Amino acid sequence: MRTKDVIIALDFPSKAETLAFLDRFPAGEKPFVKIGMELFYAEGPDMVREIKARGHKIFLDLKLHDIPNTVKRAMASLSRLDVDLVNLHAAGGSEMMRAALEGLTRPDGTRPLLIAVTQLTSTNAETLKNELLIPVPMEETVLSYAKNAAGSGLDGIVCSPLEAAKVKEVCGEDFLTVTPGIRFADSAAGDQKRIMTPEKAGKSGCDLIVVGRPITQAEDPVAAYRRTVREFIG
Ligand code: C5P
């Protein structure tokens, strides 16, 4: 899977709306999709199994963060769901990340890819300094967390498309960069602040782009998905 791809963020409140959205795609077209907390907590693992059975690759975006043993066991449960990509908070530390990898690895040696969230984009410099009491600049913490993730054997991180090239420089070309914050040149940014077009992301070291509203809220989501793939992959 270490090739470029577009992941659609299925940010819908229910299974009915999610499946209605997926049903708009022709039978042979199976986009890589992301299931986040909203949908997972509402509909549970059966929904994941159902989407997997339809032939989609799945990024299960649950951002685990707990003591190493709990994360290890939770990851074992997620690996049995046969998802393709999962994540955790790098803030949980290297021991937790290594435990997560152990838990994810199936008896046959295979496992879903595992990536880390560094600093949430909702955390600003002020919160970092005054609430988390982290005195170094944001970029330094992001790159340091990325290095911890790489050193723990993880496959990559979630980052802004503006950080992807730097992350590759520090952690290596093979370290996956998964980037939200993607917008067409002619579409609304919404609440995303640090954005990039699919075309520019494709040239900036992004491996997997996560796109929500520009596709899910489009009048013709299938056309918007195809346009994203065309612009990103070329
Ligand atoms: O609709 P939009 O394209 O902004 O959706 C982006 C998706 O990526 C959402 O599911 C959002 O929660 C997720 N995400 C993000 N920024 C992060 C991490 C995740 O936008 N830093």
Distance 6 CA to ligand 1 centre (A): 13
Q: Using CA atoms, how far apart are residues 92 and 142, in angstroms rounded to an integer?
A: 14
- pLDDT bracket for residue 193 (50, 70, 90): confident
Distance 180 CA to ligand 1 centre (A): 5
Residue 163 scores a pLDDT above 70: yes
Domains of the chain: 5-233 (3.20.20.70)
Q: Is 224 in the pocket of ligand 1 (CB under 6 A)?
A: no
CA-closest residue to ligand 1 atom 16: 180
- pLDDT bracket for residue 228 (50, 70, 90): very high
Q: Using CA atoms, how far apart are residues 109 and 1, in angstroms rounded to an integer?
A: 16
Q: Using CA atoms, how far apart are residues 67 and 75, in angstroms rounded to an integer?
A: 12
The number of angstroms, rounded, from the C-alpha of 73 to the middle of its chain's C-alpha atoms is 21
Confidence at residue 194, expressed as pLDDT on a 0 to 100 scale:
81
pLDDT tens digit string along 9-61?
999 999 999 999 999 999 999 999 999 999 999 999 999 999 999 999 999 99
Q: Using the atom order of ligand 1, give the atom closest to the CA of residue 217.
A: 1
Distance 108 CA to ligand 1 centre (A): 33
Percent of the chain at pLDDT exceeding 90? 92
Q: Using the atom order of ligand 1, give the atom closest to the CA of residue 9.
A: 10
Q: Is 121 in the pocket of ligand 1 (CB under 6 A)?
A: yes
Structure tokens at 188: 């609304």
Q: Are 95 and 68 in contact (CB under 8 A)?
A: yes
Residue 41: beta bridge partners? none
DSSP per residue, 19-81: HHHHTTS-TT---EEEEEHHHHHHH-HHHHHHHHHTT--EEEEEEE-S-HHHHHHHHHHHHHT
Q: Is 156 in the pocket of ligand 1 (CB under 6 A)?
A: no
Residues marked as catalytic: 63
CA-closest residue to ligand 1 atom 2: 212
Q: What is the 3-state secondary structure (H, E, C) of 142-178?
A: HHHHHHHHHHCCCCEEECCCCCHHHHHHHHCCCCEEE
pLDDT tens digit string along 197-220?
999 999 999 999 999 999 999 999
- pLDDT bracket for residue 188 (50, 70, 90): confident
Using most ligand atoms within 8 A of CB, pick from 41, 118, 210 the residue to mutate for ligand 1: 210
Q: Using CA atoms, how far apart are residues 194 and 181, in angstroms rounded to an integer?
A: 6
Q: Using the atom order of ligand 1, give the atom closest to the CA of residue 36.
A: 10
pLDDT tens digit string along 68-94?
999 999 999 999 999 999 999 999 999
Distance 32 CA to ligand 1 centre (A): 15
CA-closest residue to ligand 1 atom 11: 180
Q: Is 187 in the pocket of ligand 1 (CB under 6 A)?
A: no
